[in-house]
Structure 1
Amino acid sequence: MKRYLIATIICATISTVCCCDVVKLTFPSGFSLGTGSAAYQVEGAWNVSDKGENVWDYYVHNHPEIIADGSNGDVACNSYYKYKEDVALIKSTGFDFYRFSVSWSRVLPTGFANVISEDGLQYYKNLTAELVANGIEPIVTLYHWDHPQVIEEMGGWTNELIVDWFVAYARILFEALGDSVKRWVTINEPDSICGDGYESTRLAPGKIITDIGKYLCGHNVIKAHAKTYRMYEEEFRDRQGGVIGIVLPVSGYLPYNSSYEDAADTAFQFNCGWMAHPLYFGDYPEIMKTRVALVSESQGYPRSRLPEFSDEWKAIINGTNDYLGINHYTSRFVYNDPDEELGIYNSDSGLLMTVDSSWPVATSSWLYVYPEGFGYMLRKVRDEYNNPSTWVMENGYSGADNLEDYDRINYFYEYLKEMLIAVKRDGCNVEGYGVWSILDNFEWADGYTNRFGIIRVEFDDADTNRTTKLSQAWWKKVLSKRKLQSVPTPTTNTNTRTGLPWQK
């Protein structure tokens, strides 16, 4: 199995540059390297001024048992008050951009455009101005999972009215920040919020609308993204000159063996294709439409659980992506579910997934380390969507609460190497890369038990002091040289927490 996959990866594309260019592992001229955060995960100040309650405020206060350590984001990293310190750390590390998200309920306390919080809006104006003054490009995400609770009480992302409410919210931010912000993200990881928020309790709002919730959510997310894109195009692009994209979580889906190449493609379509295919081609992938209809019929539904776009909506949606944002952390091997040979449908995709027992695992139980899957995925995106402008907005590793985070450095080195090979050898049009994350922060259902930051935050201290980790020093050197640097050698050959081998 491993031999097959390695051969597939190496031989996937004929080299377009000489091997010596790849081996140098330097970043191309103009390549952008940055880092990011999300409002609820870092800001704190959950009820400051006239901010309204959002779904995560409501969820963690009413269901603390859902969070691994019973914690919440009431204070988090305190970035609402310490944003200047955060910007100074970003600058001192040498990052080109900082991607942050806006809290919808901080800007619109009632959830709607009838009431605008001047204090809330001013915070984001101040943060943006601070970044620009320090030579850091601001990249703004309009929505990173924290819509107003009042909107959720009316159905949230399962209510089509949210499309116009979102557009009205976006218009206010384009007007307020658009002279300084030239790269926008409409919605971060709709797959996650729709699947884990409307068919699971893992993410807020924690509603289990079995079989249907995630597809209703996804349908409205795509409409909200597309309509926001068209609004920006009509009202702002000529005078502001910005670009708009969506950010999707895309794992590396590899065939378990040579018999399962179609299965790997199906997995990609149900993951990336669910949202990306409509934006590039106007409709859901055919395999999704066929499979969901088939399984829906077997379950006794009168029609497919996957909604249909009208011809009018297809025209609105098609072509509404200036670049494709990707969050990538891990990979899986894919194969067909053998129960289907008996007429038993266990999932819409008809697939099962596994990992290789040799893959190390981070403190996040889902994050298995397989760098080759990153390059495999980037080549798949290249081939599927005519090599679009691609920005890796999140890539990172969760580790224990320590400062000498060799495992995180090793992860970055190996994953960046695969990305550079995909760019320089295979011609993948990746133009930017974002480290997740600049700070340890509130990791949703995991609370503060898993830490992704290259800077440590003391959450038990009222001052939430920051301390740089070894990975921050490594990144500082990488950014100054614009080239991958060797991984420092720890005192032992293996990290006992993860079993990761070390590169010398």
Structure 2
Amino acid sequence: MFLKRIVLSLFCFHVVLGKTPEIREDVRKFPDGFLFGVASASYQVEGAWDEDGKSESIWDHDTHKIPSPIDDMSTGDIADDSYHLYKRDVEMVREMGVDFYRISLSWTRIMPTSFPDKINQAGVDYYNNLINELLKHNIKPMITLFHWDMPQKLQEMGGWTNPNIVDWYGDYVRTAYELFGDRVKYWITINEPTQICLYGYGLNLLAPRLNIPGVADYLCSKNLLLAHARAYHIYDEEFRASQGGNISITLSAQWYEPESELYATASREYLQFDSGVYAHPIFSKEGDWPSIVKEKVARKSAEQGFARSRLPDFTPEEIEYVRGTSDFFGLNHYSSYFVNMDEDTINSYAVPSRADDIGVNVFKLNEWVLSEFSSTDYVPWGFYKLLNYFREEYDNPPIFITENGFGTYYTGLDDDERVTYYRGYIGAVLDAIDDGTNIIGYTAWCLMDNFEWTKGYTVRYGIYHVDFESPNRTRTPRKSAFVYKEIVRTRSLDIGFEPDTSVMTIDEGH
């Protein structure tokens, strides 16, 4: 074990501190068969929060609190009104010429009791109409089964901390496969477990805001992984033969760069606590939690007087049940961090908490901010290193980038910063492909401005601008939409391309 840890540490140091690719000005082609898409999520775009039989989710519940926990006190009650305007959404996807559109299902729109005793036909009709409209134009639907909007009724019974969630979620996904699986070939079980468990259960940053650090987040993590595995096995055993699709989980992962070679081990350990907690049980040969995570949490728990580790054990049967439950590596990525061991910061962490368990300081550089309007940092070399890290760590799995995008407080159409971001990060994807990383698809987040969780409508990620003051929620392409459209059309990256933004035409091929 000691020798293995030295080897892993040396490898991390090599990847972290290796040469960073330079921005290239030549026109660079993507491999044949590479897929491009755009994405959205149910609560962020649909609206119609209590219409046609839909029941309350945790985000409906959270945004209706007084005082509001949302920066601009807004809600997703109407959002982009995609429940009524889905044909315009599909038209935009068609305008972009992409291969697929990643959407998510609202559990409470399909199953208002949270259980399969009552299927809401109006909700089923909505998703059938959306899926069929996409297929009519030769656009593949990629469906995320759970994108944060837990039924409020289930949350009141513990949500992801209740082990019965594995069965409840299994009933829900089986229903989704039965309803839509004849036409859907790409499934995502759960979107961004770190954000769900750490920010929603360990902290109070996202719904349901339990704020029980170092305990609830770890319980959530185990039950979520078992629920993901249940969704995978149900599909694999009951539907794959007849439906012929692919299924995975989507992890949000950032890069953690050591401030100097002294912190290479700290960088490695942070990666294991962040993405490794979910990737290692699924993608590693041995399964289970990463060993450093088990060791650190057990040691801290004992020091703090707990009777057992706050990180719940997997049984041997559970390890086997979770391991290998993925057809590809779903990856969301936005930015990167530096790490060091600044004692003043580390000593200020709450006890117990994941941050205290890790015992590492993370920070960003001001130079990563493109302007005062940016809400997302620009660190494309971090994306490149992360992609290559996953190649080496998990034996080069097929990586499907299911989200990558740029947030800004600027609401206009000439979004040059977003163009810079996309070109830099898509260039990093090509650099990683050149190194041999098996990347099979890329998804821009997001199709249009939407309800951006706790930021409300103050931050915009859309390549289409949305006028939220208009009853029609008018959608207008930004400059980034034209640039991304050209990347998709040519299957190449040309950083010198300047679009004619006077007209957005529909590609008849889609």
Query: Does the pair score TM above 0.5?
Result: yes
Match of 2:188 in 1: 185
TM-score, structure 1 length as denominator? 0.91
Aligned residue for 1:242? Answer: 245
Q: 1:160 to 1:28 in 2, by over 3 A?
A: same
CA contact (8 A) 1:330 1:374 kept: yes
Aligned to 1:397: 406
Which one of 262, 266, 271 corresponds to residue 263 of structure 1?
Answer: 266
SS of the aligned residue for 1:66 comes to coil
Aligned to 1:65, the other structure's residue is in SS state coil
Structure 2 partner of 1:482: 491
Query: In the TM superposition, what are the counterparts of 1:407-486 in structure 2 within 5 Å?
Result: 407-424=417-434, 426-486=435-495
Paired with 1:7 and 1:341, the residues of 2 have a C-alpha distance of 22
Amino acid at match of 2:420: N
How far apart are residue 347 of structure 1 and its match? 1.0
Q: 2: distance between equivalents of 1:244 and 1:6?
A: 29
Give a deviation string over 1:479-500, Cα, whole Å, max 9, x none.
111111325689xxxxxxxxxx
Contact 2:339–2:361 (8 Å) recurs in 1: yes
Is 2:139 aligned against 1:136?
A: yes
AA of the residue aligned to 1:295: K
Label 1:366 to 1:416 Cα distance change in 2 as closer, same or farther (>3 A).
same
Partner of 2:80 in structure 1?
77
1:298-337 equivalences under 5 Å are 298-337=303-342
Write the letter of the residue equivalent to 2:181.
G
Cα deviation for residue 343 of structure 1 reads: 13
Mapped partners of 1:52, 1:389: distance in 2:
37
Structure 1 segment 51-62 matched on structure 2, within 5 A: 51-62=54-65
Partner residue in 2 for 1:36: 39
Q: Give the aligned partner of residue 225 of structure 2.
A: 222
Is the 2:69–2:454 contact (alpha carbons within 8 Å) kept by the matching residues of 1? Answer: yes
Q: CA deviation at 1:227?
A: 1.1
- Residue 356 of structure 1 deviates from its aligned partner by 2.5
Q: State the distance in 1 between where 2:430 and 2:451 align.
A: 30
SS state at 2:209 partner: coil
Q: Could you report, residue by residue, the CA deviation over 1:121-159 in whole angstroms, capped at 9, with x for unpaired residues?
A: 111111111111111111000000001100001011110
Change (3 A) 1:7 1:174: closer
Q: In the alignment, what sits opposite 2:504?
A: none
Q: Distance in 2 between matches of 1:158 and 1:364?
A: 38
> What is the total number of aligned residue pairs between the two structures?
480
Helix, strand or coil at the partner of 1:358 = helix
1:202 counterpart = 2:212: no
The amino acid that maps onto 1:79 is: S
Using the TM superposition, give the Cα deviation of residue 461 of structure 1 relative to its aligned residue in structure 2, in angstroms: 1.7
1:105 equivalent to 2:108? Answer: yes
8 A Cα contact 1:64 1:71, kept in partner: no
1:294 to 281, 299, 307: 299
In structure 1, the residue corresponding to 2:431 is in which secondary structure? helix
Letter paired with 1:146:
D
Percent of pairs with identical residues: 42
Deviation at 1:457, TM superposition (A): 0.6
- Matches of 1:343 and 1:403, distance apart in 2: 42
Which letter maps to 1:171?
Answer: R
Mapping of residues 163-174 of structure 1, within 5 Å: 163-174=166-177
Rounded to whole Å, the distance in 2 between the matches of 1:207 and 1:338 is 28
Q: Could you tell me how far apart the structure 2 residues matched to 1:291 and 1:6 are?
A: 24
In the TM superposition, what is the alpha-carbon distance from 1:64 to its structure 2 partner? 5.0
Deviation at 1:363, TM superposition (A): 6.9
Give the letter aligned to residue 72 of structure 1.
T
Deviations 1:143-185 (A, max 9, x none): 0000110000101111011110000000011111111111100
CA distance in 2, matches of 1:101, 1:316: 25
Could you tell me how far apart the structure 1 residues matched to 2:61 and 2:474 are?
Answer: 27
Listed one character per residue, the Cα deviations across residues 358-405 of structure 1 (whole Å, up to 9, x for unaligned) are 211577876321110000000000011100010111100012111000
Q: Structure 1, residues 227-256: CA drift from partner, whole Å, max 9, x if none?
A: 111111110011111111000110011111
